[in-house]
Structure 1
């Protein structure tokens, strides 16, 4: 007797699959929630396609996936949508021994005492950006947070904080990201058939030329660092000195792809998370008051002290829970037959753990649509219940840096300014390239300067 369970899921026609893909691009959260209600926490997105793509938001199943033996899955081939942005030597697009090698080389700059060296840079950049705000005037929240996060990543990763190279790279990166940022323009990434270079006035042609200009600046910076006799503490310099187990350094192509990966992974995502946090803090006065009371207890002159603030941590965690920037983790392609929760998966099946659906399970997070930081004070969630940075051997290596930056930027802003949303219209998540972000129309007004400022952040 065969006790194997049968996967549930829709059986759309070819036209139906095309319509679903467009729905996924323009309103991804709605289609996720609808399918979850119809088919549960493990389902195939289309029964009549090969290979099968299976959505999973069951914590027990996620634990089996994230803790599976090496060689069970291949993640590289499932992320090809990122290839035009990142390059084929990006950590995200590597698998097996190559992935492990790059991961070991990239890990040291993002942990331990290295974080403390970035704290003053983050604080100063935040201060420079927000010093331009004027009392009584509104500002575009996303644009301001993008400015902070981009300047932080350029400084920390490249050691660039001024000069022609800095200005040019900042301008080009912004144009490239905006070029694939809307739901319509992001179709360039989801539909390879649209990736045709018809010259500089065509969407893909503009993308390729911007990418080429960015690459030229990056390779110039790599060359300058290789030839420099001065000591630098940016991540590029650390990676130039890194050696693998065979004593081999990264090639220029590997460096380029990893640096671009850090740029995109550490810029857009942080800007979106910060924008959401400011939105929720203003929407809920009780959250704001608790947070301000805690921020006023910061000790003197130590930016890294924000790491110890429990309520600030809870606010950041809840921000990343309710609207995770990456709504899915990286896909896994089955290489060896595996059974998960009574389902049997053959090689070639693509498993897609859903961060958003897991974060909105009623059994884990009662009233999941409500913003409640206290959840993270009352309970410690497992890596299979809370996974804004992915899981297993694909967990984001920059998560500690991202959390630190988010806390320090929020603390710097909130200890100096009283902010208020320009209007109380509810903000909904929208497609931003490959991620989901708050609307670009989110604006806040500077009500006044705070009379009490934390000495650690002034």
Structure 2
């Protein structure tokens, strides 16, 4: 591993900030591996995505499994997405999301600080848990969350998990047994009925992880930017279009993932798209570091918070529904203020880019 790739691996956000002014929108990480973010390149890459391979993440594949839909290719990938897509249709879950959001807001201690990202992760995990299993099971989800935190809860843990013992799985047999039992006894047993038994574990874990981690990060960042913008919270209570624009601008400036997965050509060339850099490119966005919900729409390839091509997130609309519902309910029922740390440097949790644990939310009842 050369110096450039080492910086990319060990200090991702700092490395990305150091190259954001490269007008070509690409950086050579090593021989036959490139980091790219120019909108024209991104648009072309996503157009030809079906012709490319999608190597598994060295960080996440030991957790999610080699049979995760996130790494499958070709017809197998298409078939799995077709199988899982009905489970993620947003319009099926408005009442469920409303119920879970109201419950979580009611549990907020009035006037006491709560870790913002921790709270959004717990809530979004509850939602995807109900979608996947059909029932509430906080004990199981707490065990799942602790398992993830032991491996992704800090950058040091993530790097140790990735580099100190590469090539080994990080499964927890007891947790896997609990997850499989719950999936097989779900009503209806949607996943267990349509997936091969040997693939069930990897898909359940992938849905739980991908179905809550980035949604939680995006929600937390949206609350952060609303708090940082005087007067915006009150405007959002009566302006749905402004709310959608605020969420989009938060997804631009603080995307829930810094990278969009690797692509590999038949001859072994690896291309890594950077969401973070594409969204902060000065040639694409005026004053790219300024939070501005009134921005004009970006060009194709300039905005892809949920990835793109054949790997775009199938739960995009569900995630947007959750973000919209959580933010709206918070603003209606609570007055929110954030006890901001000196630095709000993003915390990387595998693929997700979350606010740091030190960013706390104080919620008080509206009179």
Which TM-score tier does this pair reach, normalised by the shorter chain?
Answer: over 0.9
Q: Find the partner of 2:14 among 30, 43, 48.
A: 30
TM-score by length of 1: 0.75
Counterpart check, 1:74 vs 2:35: no
Q: Find the partner of 1:250 among 174, 192, 195.
A: 195
Structure 2 distance, partners of 1:430, 1:85, is 19
**Distance change (3 Å), C-alpha of 1:333 and 1:69:** closer
Task: Count matched residues.
Answer: 366
Q: Do the aligned residues in 2 keep the contact of 1:26 with 1:431 (CA within 8 Å)?
A: no
Counterpart check, 1:418 vs 2:349: no
Structure 1 match to 2:143: 172
Unaligned runs of 5+ in 1: 1-13, 198-203, 226-230, 242-248, 295-308, 336-346, 452-458
Structure 1 distance, partners of 2:192, 2:141, is 22
Could you tell me how far 1:136 is from its partner in structure 2? 2.7
List aligned pairs for 1:178-217, cutoff 5 A: 178-180=149-151, 181-191=153-163, 193-195=164-166, 207-208=170-171, 211-217=172-178
**Distance change (3 Å), C-alpha of 1:37 and 1:381:** closer
Q: Find the partner of 1:109 among 73, 79, 87.
A: 87
Could you tell me how far 1:183 is from its partner in structure 2? 0.8
Structure 2 distance, partners of 1:251, 1:368, is 46
Structure 1 match to 2:28: 44
Structure 1 match to 2:232: 287
Q: Deviations over 1:237-258 (max 9, x none)?
A: 33445xxxxxxx4212323222
**Distance change (3 Å), C-alpha of 1:253 and 1:449:** same
Q: Do the aligned residues in 1 keep the contact of 2:21 with 2:281 (CA within 8 Å)?
A: no
**Distance change (3 Å), C-alpha of 1:36 and 1:420:** closer
Could you tell me how far 1:391 is from its partner in structure 2? 0.6
Q: Do the aligned residues in 2 keep the contact of 1:27 with 1:431 (CA within 8 Å)?
A: no
Q: Deviations over 1:120-164 (max 9, x none)?
A: 211111211221223332222122112211111111111121xxx
Could you tell me how far 1:407 is from its partner in structure 2? 0.5
**Distance change (3 Å), C-alpha of 1:30 and 1:141:** same
Q: Find the partner of 1:440 among 327, 334, 357.
A: 357
Structure 2 match to 1:273: 218
- SS of 2:184's equivalent in the other structure is helix
Q: Deviations over 1:30-68 (max 9, x none)?
A: 20131343573122112xx4xx11111111111111111
Structure 2 match to 1:449: 365
Q: Deviations over 1:398-443 (max 9, x none)?
A: 1010111111111111100011112464422122233221100111
Q: Find the partner of 2:268 among 319, 330, 348.
A: 348
**Distance change (3 Å), C-alpha of 1:68 and 1:196:** closer
List aligned pairs for 1:322-341, cutoff 5 A: 322-335=253-266
- SS of 2:326's equivalent in the other structure is helix
Structure 2 distance, partners of 1:260, 1:110, is 15
Q: What RMSD over aligned residues (CA atoms) do the two structures have, in Å?
A: 2.2
Q: Find the partner of 1:392 among 309, 328, 335.
A: 309
Larger Cα-atom Rg:
1
Structure 1 distance, partners of 2:199, 2:320, is 26
Q: Find the partner of 2:42 among 62, 77, 100.
A: 62
**Distance change (3 Å), C-alpha of 1:141 and 1:86:** same
Q: Find the partner of 1:139 among 114, 117, 120.
A: 114
Q: Do the aligned residues in 1 keep the contact of 2:88 with 2:314 (CA within 8 Å)?
A: yes
Unaligned runs of 5+ in 2: none
Structure 2 match to 1:366: 286
Could you tell me how far 1:82 is from its partner in structure 2? 2.2
Structure 1 match to 2:3: 16
